[in-house]
Chain A
């Protein structure tokens, strides 16, 4: 394809040189080409937040972001969290507090929480609720997620 764009993307610490069509969405790139299926596509309209990944530490809805926008940037997906098989403290807190049910929103939710705790290491409940607004969970009623976030913060998760 002559209209494809060369980009360099660092995903979970690994650098990829990619040639992407201009219309390729970041979520499709991650899922289909890099096999990072933890990035879920729910609404496909940047509403539900299931596709949330971190770009330079900030949450981004990958379903509606063009891949070429992130040339030279560092992307973190859920697969990048449990490095070496040890769960990230946020993942551990979600596990222990039962802060998931169907699990479809969970990877995106956990990445939003990572971004929250990086900025606000000890968030109060209103702030947690405000940050979680970017991620819809239809299963849990959110309360157990909020419990997990507080526990993760208490355990010093960043």
Chain B
């Protein structure tokens, strides 16, 4: 199905909208009253007893060794695939921001005062702050012993290694064909090196968790976007069965990947366990900035081309800065490595990507998940090669783009989006063909750049759902996808409503509670609408089947003769109200029709990433810049970003996803960066860390969404990350178009541009 026959044409108001515009929306930041703040915790600095003002000083004087603090925990380490991050620092502190102690007290002020009384004695160790330092011979080791866990599971042609070398967390290798031989036979071979920056998620709702331990249960109200992943981690860490850990989720005030997977939640539970009371652990934004970042990295690409402009082979060496702990880096390198070839056709590919441990903030999920790094390097180099060969960059891309249906790599699924049509749409909207030659007068030069970002949607592959239809046709959709702002609740309810023939206003998204909500493997990978949506579509169809079978039984006909619409059944020209039938049969208590559904993307060892990619997430970007060659100042005068949603379940929300992601990428491209001076972060405060403001918007900022049809319900795909992918390269490409210099490192600051211009003179 493509968008043209979509049942979701009509504009809708988001279901979470009234709560959010009135301020009635409740986040984990506002814990339920019955558990709120009987004690609060302040992290980073070592005691876990409820304190009053007098005993704060006494308790703070206790001598506590790191290993004592985690003694209650059977397995104090967490991380995805590879588990190396302790609930609280045990043997050594590996980065500035590592939690060394936490205090729970009767109120925040007391906890904070107690913290200031703690004197942590450090024995300084030599640090490695960059990828090169960490990989140098004789570099100090972050970890002396192997970490727990295992390498990421992969499929054909792929190697995945856990801790293969000193300070290397994991390594991904992929080969298709004989890249060395193909490169040797190519007319041209270009090698270029790209440097990608580190940024923070800067979600406005802080990391916040409320934990209560008692009655044989650990209960957590969490801002985490993966309630079941978290439940399973807590069960393992505390040595309990999964049915004794219960996670509640509410609205999440922004995540962008920062609230994926286990972080400080076990510490909140540990504090509550020791305190014997509920504990609220809310990080400050300063602490949040030191909790997780996007991966900085170095990407070296060696690409072969024939004289006629056909790409031949690409050999890539990628190093991502994983920071001090694993988090989800082992997965991120797999994705970066796999996506490095971009949306093009190759004869051969050879890729090696590794996650390198350094003494900096751990890196993990961030919208785009390795795709941003890969797209920046790949789309920059594609442009550079085109310009070196004197081929128009648009034409060079057009010649090499994957066609619809062509597999991304052997064994993987075919391209399901018309990449050229999307690029043409950008070219048209940007006015790319009408662009004028740079004016000769003045110090400013204009230029335009294009780019096509691409990522796969594999990884989030499992979801269960329940759809309950209550009396009067009111329904509750139950799934574990968390509303982080993306509009998931509206999209998922709309899918359920459509299948059941109910108005959207009659359907509500059920509160998430792992005791009652069906499981999925997280709110990730732009996959909610497709993967969880499919589970909901099936659950709603199951409920519909039950309703129609019930009605058929009451009417003495077969269910196949009936259709369901607005809580009535139609048989031929007759309409029957369901409500009296139900009352008549079940009595006053009524009945709930409970439909169940699930989605499982099967393991497939023949596919490189061990499962066929469910759909492709392209991003088409065009940028026009004005560069002042006297100052290096870059002004983006026009930015056009397009994405493919498959069938849009909510067109307005899709636009919001594309524009929001693109502006995050835009900030990273031009100025946003978490910087270090030696071992110390220099701008890890909200004031010093600069994110895009309204006045930073490009003068002309345009987005569009195409609906090429996907595998999800009614032809839906996913769109949440796409806007993030191609922006940085498009701007770098436009800068070269304007002033003839190439920047291979982001952010594209005035200093860097000016240095490049002066270097070229």
Contact = CB atoms under 8 A, between A and B. Distances in A.
Contacts of A129: 694-695, 697
Interface string B730-758: 00000000000000000000000000000
A105 interface: yes
A5 interface: no
B20 A132 contact: no
A101 B703 CA distance: 17
Nearest to B109: A23
B695 A133 contact: yes
A40 B29 contact: yes
A94 B18 CA distance: 10
Interface string A75-106: 00111011000010001101111101111111
Contacts of A138: 201-204, 254, 256, 660, 664, 691
A9 interface: no
Interface stretch (B402-410, B451-459, B623-631, B649-657): B649-657
Given A38-B24, A40-B29, A78-B22, A103 B694 contact: no
Given A102-B205, A102-B484, A103-B251, A141 B693 contact: no
Q: Interface extent on B, as a size class? A: 35 or more
A115 interface: no
Contacts of A97: 652
B659 A42 contact: no
Contact of A79 (B23, B29, B655): B23
B656 A141 contact: yes
A146 to B, nearest CB: 7
A45 B688 CA distance: 11
Interface in A27-51: 31, 36-45, 47-48, 50
B525 to A, nearest CB: 18
B538 to A, nearest CB: 28
B653 A141 contact: no
Nearest to B251: A103
Contacts of B252: 102
B97 interface: no
A96 B687 contact: no
B511 interface: no
A71 B653 CA distance: 42
Contact of A103 (B20, B30, B656, B661): B20
A101 B205 contact: no
B685 interface: yes
Contacts of A87: 18, 21-22
B656 A94 contact: no
Interface in B658-689: 659-664, 685-687
A132 B485 contact: no
A128 B21 CA distance: 19
A142 interface: yes
Interface residues of A, number: 52
A144 interface: yes
Given A133-B693, A141-B659, A91 B204 contact: no
B19 A45 contact: no
Given A98-B14, A103-B25, A141-B662, A42 B206 contact: yes
Interface in B188-222: 201-206
Interface string B675-719: 000000000011100011111010001010000000000000000
Per DSSP, are chain B's interface residues mostly helix, strand or loop, or mixed? loop
B27 interface: yes
Contacts of A139: 254, 485, 656, 660
Contacts of A7: none
Per DSSP, are chain A's interface residues mostly helix, strand or loop, or mixed? loop
Nearest to B641: A141
B284 A133 contact: no
Nearest to A148: B21
A136 interface: yes
Contacts of B486: 101
A95 B18 contact: yes
B13 interface: yes
A2 interface: no
A144 B651 CA distance: 13
Contacts of B686: 42-43, 45, 47-48
B285 A103 contact: no
B90 to A, nearest CB: 30
B53 interface: no
Contacts of A62: none
Contacts of A40: 29, 204-205, 253
Interface string A59-77: 0000000000000000001
Contacts of B16: 103
B251 A102 contact: yes
B385 to A, nearest CB: 31
Interface in B21-73: 21-27, 29-30
A157 interface: no
Given A129-B695, A132-B693, A139-B660, A102 B23 contact: no
Given A87-B18, A138-B691, 4 more contacts: A43-B285, A44-B284, A104-B204, A104-B254
Which 4 A/B pairs are nearest by Cβ-Cβ distance?
A38-B23, A102-B485, A103-B20, A104-B253
25 contacts: A38-B23, A38-B24, A40-B204, A43-B686, A45-B686, A47-B687, A95-B13, A95-B17, A97-B652, A100-B17, A101-B487, A101-B660, A102-B255, A103-B25, A104-B27, A128-B694, A130-B695, A133-B693, A136-B691, A139-B254, A140-B659, A144-B655, A144-B659, A145-B694, A146-B694
Interface of B: 13-14, 16-27, 29-30, 201-206, 251-256, 284-285, 484-487, 652-653, 655-656, 659-664, 685-687, 691-695, 697, 701, 703, 723
